[in-house]
Amino acid sequence: METKPERIIIFDTTLRDGEQCPGATLNIDEKLAIAKQLARLGVDIIEAGFAFASPGDFTAVNRIAQTVGTEDGPVICSLARARYDDIRAAAEAIKPAAKGRIHTFIATSDIHLKYKLRKTRSEVLAIASEMVAYAKNFTDDVEFSPEDAGRSDPEFLYQVLERAIAAGATTVNIPDTVGYTTPSEFGAIIKGIKENVPNIDQAIISVHGHNDLGLAVANFLEAVKNGARQLECTINGIGERAGNAALEELVMGLHVRRQYFNPFLGRPADSELPLTNIDTKQIYKSSRLVSNLTGMLVQPNKAIVGTNAFAHESGIHQDGVLKNKLTYEIMDAQLIGLTDNQIVLGKHSGRNAFRSRLQELGFELTETELNKAFIRFKELGDKKKEITDWDLEAIVNDEIQQAPDLFKLELVQVFCGSSAKATATVSLRTPEGEELTDAAIGTGPVDAVYKAINRVVNVPNELVEFSVQSVTAGIDAIGEVTIRLRHEDRIFSGHSANTDIIAASAQAYVNALNRLYAKLQNKQQEQVTA
């Protein structure tokens, strides 16, 4: 990592802070799939998790370090509280990476010191210095964060940062932990740090912020103008509460307005050099992957990656765009990886053509995943005359969902109509191999299916979200179903795609129940072991 970068460093925390979003819990294989895509996207640092938090988190960070942390890949980072055990766990987890970072933090605002840490300012100063120095024993790349910096006393903040840098921190991160500041205030905080921390030239200034007031991206761009050179963000802006600053918005904001931002990085205003290392054509694919694996849907009017981001309904707008796209579009949809391709493959296409097209779209599948996806592709070819890139993405994303393979959906059949009570019959194969069938009546076909599945699985749960999206236009479009279940204050998501929306709904529900059932099994095993 450059000590004085002439560009903006992108630090992705989708797998750490993003996963803290309620219901976004990922298993190890899903985290690995996202990490590989983040590497293709070109992020500089992947914060792979909080190694000390759980054995699962440790294993995920370690696997990502082994697989993605190559010499030419991103830096692999683990978060750690300013504690010996946390830092040791982080160091061990990132050890396989060619480039590893430990990110340690302690709160500095008076409200956190009084009510959370119950420590004095002098104690926090000593801890910050001691723990950064300890982390330095394991790696030269140490990042320090004063949690809740946005509400910290500036003079105390300057002291903590000076101590941390003196102890060996190469990056100091300024978090707006509760999304409280406005752009001018956040910019002033960064400017104050630049002017009042004597050794600040020995570290890179980073920023981290939440979107509670909808200002995270604006805050970060103001921070760039005042000297921040690392941005900590997530795909689709997912994260705790209202989420984090969105990677795609920051990257495209800097790209589209680079003539405005160039001078703040010491460049000529008309420089065409990119301000980040991000491959923008991987943005849309990254967004879709994270959305599908976490079950966190992207709102249609979401900037950059929403389904309406490049759509035009107004007649005046349509007329202008047809004459010249620049009239109402400030960026080309192809820049973020959207294509205008319609017919990509047909039902007579072979495996090699299918594999080649997936590689062109940026998908790297194992032989097993490819075989499963190819079977789905052939099935779809019998139902649809035209198969688009979006159809292919839906198939592949559905096949790489890593829900535990416990209950298997064997049959789903519904009877419904305007004058009939919706009735569903389902058959599931249990983890023990037994096939069970049951039926139920519901307010509609999907409700009936879910009730029938619940009768078979018999695991208490509450359906908290059911969402259907059409991948492409037309009566034969693939429908994507995302559902979220609650069990004992935990959220479990399921996802499936099919031209038959009832079948997709049933499979999505089974996927979520399998995640829930696996969690209950692990809990029972832990209790037996204890």
Check if the beta carbon of residue 409 is closer than 8 Å to that of residue 395. no
Let me know whether 35 and 151 are in one domain.
yes
pLDDT one-digit tens code per residue, 129-163: 999 999 999 999 999 999 999 999 999 999 999 99
The rounded Cα 491 to chain-centroid distance in angstroms is: 16
State the residue for tokens 């792979």.
Answer: 48
Residue 321 has pLDDT above 50, yes or no: no
CA angle 180, 185, 186 (to 5 degrees): 75
CB atoms within 10 A of CB 265: 18
Let me know whether 56 and 185 are in one domain.
yes
| DSSP, res 37 | H
Band of the pLDDT at 416, cuts 50, 70, 90? very high
Let me know whether 204 and 237 are in one domain.
yes
Q: Which of 294, 319, 354 is the last residue of a domain?
A: 294
| Count of the separate structural domains present in the chain | 3
Q: State which H helix or E strand residue 398 sits in.
A: helix 389-399
Q: Which residues of 301-324 are buried (b: 16+ CB within 10 A; e: fewer)?
A: ebebbeeebbebeeeeeeebbeee
pLDDT greater at residue 89 or residue 395: 89
How confident is the model at residue 300, as a pLDDT?
Answer: 85
- Phi, then psi, of 358 in degrees rounded to 5: -65, -40
Within-domain flag for 309: no
State the residue for tokens 């999304």.
Answer: 179
Within-domain flag for 326: no
Let me know whether 221 and 93 are in one domain.
yes
Kindly report the CATH number assigned to the domain that includes residue 283.
3.20.20.70
Within-domain flag for 320: no
Within-domain flag for 312: no
Within-domain flag for 300: no
Let me know whether 290 and 385 are in one domain.
no
Q: Provide the residue range defining the domain that includes 182.
A: 9-294
State the residue for tokens 């694919």.
Answer: 285
Please return the burial class of 340, using the count of CB atoms within 10 Å of its CB with bins 0-12, 13-18 and 19+: exposed
pLDDT one-digit tens code per residue, 74-109: 999 999 999 999 999 999 999 999 999 999 999 999
- The arrangement of strands across the sheet holding 479-487 comes to 462-470, 479-487, 490-498
The mean predicted confidence, pLDDT, of the chain is 88
pLDDT one-digit tens code per residue, 298-308: 888 999 998 78
Tokens (6 digits) for 43: 């992020």
Kindly report the CATH number assigned to the domain that includes residue 498.
3.30.160.270
Q: Which of 352, 373, 399 is the last residue of a domain?
A: 399
Within-domain flag for 324: no
Let me know whether 384 and 504 are in one domain.
no
Residue 528 has pLDDT above 80, yes or no: no
d(CA 395, CA 496): 9
Residue 2 has pLDDT above 60, yes or no: no
Let me know whether 66 and 109 are in one domain.
yes
Check if the beta carbon of residue 390 is closer than 8 Å to that of residue 471. yes
Long-range contacts of 522-526 (CB under 8 A, 24+ apart): none
Q: If you average pLDDT over each of 74-83, 402-411, 415-424, which comes out highest?
A: 74-83
How confident is the model at residue 316, as a pLDDT?
Answer: 44
pLDDT one-digit tens code per residue, 230-268: 999 999 999 999 999 999 999 999 999 999 999 999 999
Which of 483, 486, 453, 492 lies closest to 465, judged by CA? 483
Which of 457, 463, 518, 466 lies closest to 485, judged by CA? 463
pLDDT one-digit tens code per residue, 190-225: 999 999 999 999 999 999 999 999 999 999 999 999
Which of 235, 328, 325, 221 lies closest to 275, judged by CA? 221
The pTM for the full model equals: 0.80
Q: Which residues contact 374 (CB under 8 A, 6 or more apart)?
A: 351, 354
Check if the beta carbon of residue 35 is closer than 8 Å to that of residue 67. yes
State the residue for tokens 């249990």.
Answer: 430
Q: How large is the average pLDDT for residues 506-518?
A: 89
CA distances from 386 to 259, 287, 333, 341, 343 (A): 41, 24, 22, 11, 5
Let me know whether 353 and 267 are in one domain.
no
Q: How large is the average pLDDT for residues 295-318?
A: 73
Let me know whether 86 and 199 are in one domain.
yes
Within-domain flag for 451: yes
Check if the beta carbon of residue 243 is closer than 8 Å to that of residue 207. no
Residue 23 has pLDDT above 80, yes or no: no
Q: Which residues contact 525 (CB under 8 A, 6 or more apart)?
A: none
How confident is the model at residue 312, as a pLDDT?
Answer: 47
Within-domain flag for 133: yes
Let me know whether 394 and 414 are in one domain.
no
Let me know whether 354 and 417 are in one domain.
no
Long-range contacts of 128-133 (CB under 8 A, 24+ apart): 128/82, 128/160, 128/163, 128/164, 128/167, 129/163, 129/164, 129/166, 129/167, 130/167, 131/82, 131/83, 131/84, 131/87, 131/104, 131/106, 132/104, 132/163, 132/164, 132/167, 132/168, 132/169, 133/167, 133/168
Check if the beta carbon of residue 168 is closer than 8 Å to that of residue 134. no
Let me know whether 273 and 388 are in one domain.
no
Check if the beta carbon of residue 54 is closer than 8 Å to that of residue 523. no
